[in-house]
Amino acid sequence: MTPEEEAQLVRLAELHRVTVPRLLVESALSRDRSETPTERRDALAEMFRAIRLLSSIANNVNQIAKATNATGEVHDELSATLAAARRTAVRIDDALDGIAT
Please give the share of the chain, as a percent, with pLDDT higher than 90: 11
pLDDT at position 42? 80
Q: What's the N-to-C CA distance of the chain in angstroms? A: 31
What was the pLDDT predicted at 91? 81
Say whether pLDDT at 70 is over 90: yes
Q: Which residues of 7-42 are buried (b: 16+ CB within 10 A; e: fewer)?
A: eebeebbeebebeeeebeeeeeeeeeeebbbeebee
In this prediction, residues 61-80 reach a mean pLDDT of 88
Give residue-wise pLDDT tens across range 20-59. Answer: 888 887 777 666 656 666 777 787 788 888 888 888 988 9
pLDDT higher than threshold 80 for residue 83: yes
pLDDT of residue 69: 92
Q: Is the model's pLDDT at 101 over the cut of 60?
A: no
- Per-chain mean pLDDT for the chain: 82
CB 28 within 8 A of CB 13: no
